[in-house]
């Protein structure tokens, strides 16, 4: 038996407000939403984070997240939507079953995802070079 809370939700051991399900992907309302209609999109098979989620499954999750993003605007009256994913404890991940957050914005909240800081051109060049090399 699984100890993962999201696996338990998929298995029906823990109730949830389901919004979507197919062969590989499941989506349900977050129990502690940043706004009404905050949805979590998860793979049905257990993966910890983006890093061990196979590309084809992540692609399917992304397509579902996109459909839900459009749906919260068309059907819930959201004026905008944020898509987010916390990967790793340092990034704020609490549940270690990969999930994409779809967060509707209604224009009346003070929810802020991040605050950017100034950076130096040579620092950005160095970082970009390192990433370009690794991504070749």
Catalytically active residues are: 99
- The continuous run of DSSP H or E covering 132 comes out as helix 121-135
Query: Of these partners, ligand 5GP, Zn ion, none, which one is at the site of residue 95 (CB under 5 to 8 Å by kind)?
Result: ligand 5GP
Q: Is 32 exposed, middle or buried (0-12, 13-18, 19+ CB in 10 A)?
A: exposed
Given 3, 23, 51, 92, the residue binding ligand 5GP (CB under 6 A):
92
Based on the shown chain and the rule CB under 5 A, indicate whether residue 97 belongs to the binding site for Zn ion.
Answer: yes
Give the residue among 38, 15, 54 at the shortest CA–CA distance from 101: 38
The least distance separating ligand 5GP from the CB of residue 29, rounded to whole angstroms, comes to 6
Stretch that binds Zn ion, among 48-56, 95-103, 110-118, 124-132 (CB under 5 A): 95-103
Distance in angstroms (rounded) separating the CA atoms of residues 104 and 77: 9
Query: Token digits for 127?
Result: 């970082």
Q: Residues interacting with ligand 5GP, by CB under 6 A?
A: 5, 14, 16, 28-32, 40, 86, 92-95
């Amino acid at each position: 038996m699984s100890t993962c809370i999201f696996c338990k939700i998929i298995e029906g051991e823990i109730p949830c407000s389901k919004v979507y399900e197919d062969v590989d992907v499941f989506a349900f309302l977050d129990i502690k939403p940043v706004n009404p209609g905050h949805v979590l999109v998860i793979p049905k098979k257990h993966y910890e984070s983006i890093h061990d989620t196979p590309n084809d499954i992540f692609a399917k999750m992304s397509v579902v997240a996109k459909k839900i993003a459009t749906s919260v605007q068309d059907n819930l009256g959201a004026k905008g939507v944020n898509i987010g994913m916390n990967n790793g404890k340092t990034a704020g991940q609490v549940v270690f079953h990969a999930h994409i957050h779809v967060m509707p914005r209604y224009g009346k909240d003070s929810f802020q995802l991040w605050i950017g800081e100034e950076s130096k051109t040579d620092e950005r060049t160095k970082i970009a070079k390192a990433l370009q090399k690794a991504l070749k």
